[in-house]
Amino acid sequence: MVVACSWLKRLSLDDTGSRDVGAAGWKRKWIPEALWVGSPLARDQPCPLRGWVSRVQVQESGDLGDMAAPGDAEIRKDVQTYYGQVLKKTADLQTNACITTARPVPKHIREALQNVHEEVALRYYGCGLVIPERLENCWILDLGSGSGRDCYALSQLVGEKGRVTGIDMTEGQVEVAKKHIEYHMEKYGFQIANVTFIHGYIEKLEEAGIQNESYDIVISNCVINLVPDKQQVLWEVYRALKLGGELYFSDVYASLELPEEIRTHKVLWGECLGGALYWKDLAIFAQKIGFCPPRLVSANLITVQNKELERVIGDCRFVSATFRLFKLPKTEPATRCQVIYNGGITGHEKELIFDANFTFKKGETVEVDEETAAILKHSRFAQDFLIRPAGEKLPACTSCSTLQSKT
Q: Enumerate residues 6+ apart whose C-beta is below 8 A from 287.
A: 13, 17, 19, 58, 293
pLDDT of residue 98: 55
Triad 156, 160, 164: Cα angle to 5°: 65
Determine contact, residues 346/108, Cβ cutoff 8 Å: yes
The 3-state secondary structure of the chain reads: CECCCCEEECEEECCCCCEEECCCCCCCEEEEHHHCCCCHHHHHCCCCCCCCCCCCCCCCCCCHHHHCCCCHHHHHHHHHHHHHHHCCCHHHCCECCCCCCCCCCCHHHHHHHHCCCHHHHHCCCCCCCCCCCCCCCCEEEEECCCCCHHHHHHHHHHCCCCEEEEEECCHHHHHHHHCCHHHHHHHHCCCCCCEEEEECCCCCCCCCCCCCCCEEEEEEECCHHHCCCHHHHHHHHHHHEEEEEEEEEEEEEECCCCCHHHHCCHHHHHCCCCCCEECCHHHHHHHHHCCCCCEEEEEEECCECCHHHHHHHCCCCEEEEEEEEECCCCCCCCCCEEEEECCCCCCCCCEEECCCCCEEEECCEEEECHHHHHHHHHCCCHHHEEEEECCCCCCCCCCHHHCCCCC
| Cα 293–chain centre separation | 13
Taking the complete model, does pTM exceed 0.75, yes or no?
A: yes
Using CA atoms, how far apart are residues 11 and 28, in angstroms rounded to an integer? 7
Determine contact, residues 70/42, Cβ cutoff 8 Å: no
Mean pLDDT per block of 10 residues along the chain (407 residues) reads 29 31 38 46 30 25 35 52 48 51 79 95 77 97 95 97 96 95 97 97 97 97 90 98 97 91 86 88 94 92 86 90 94 87 96 96 96 96 96 59 40
Using CA atoms, how far apart are residues 26 and 10, in angstroms rounded to an integer? 10
Give the closest residue to 150 by CA, choosing from 234, 239, 213, 222: 222
Using CA atoms, how far apart are residues 56 and 173, in angstroms rounded to an integer? 40
Using CA atoms, how far apart are residues 347 and 104, in angstroms rounded to an integer? 12
pLDDT of residue 97: 54
Give the closest residue to 150 by CA, choosing from 235, 225, 249: 249
Determine contact, residues 169/220, Cβ cutoff 8 Å: no
Distances (CA, A) of 25 to 335, 364, 374, 379, 383: 16, 20, 19, 25, 28
Distances (CA, A) of 386 to 216, 223, 330, 351, 366: 21, 36, 22, 15, 11
pLDDT of residue 58: 28
pLDDT of residue 306: 84
pLDDT of residue 50: 25
Q: Which amino acid is at 183?
A: Y
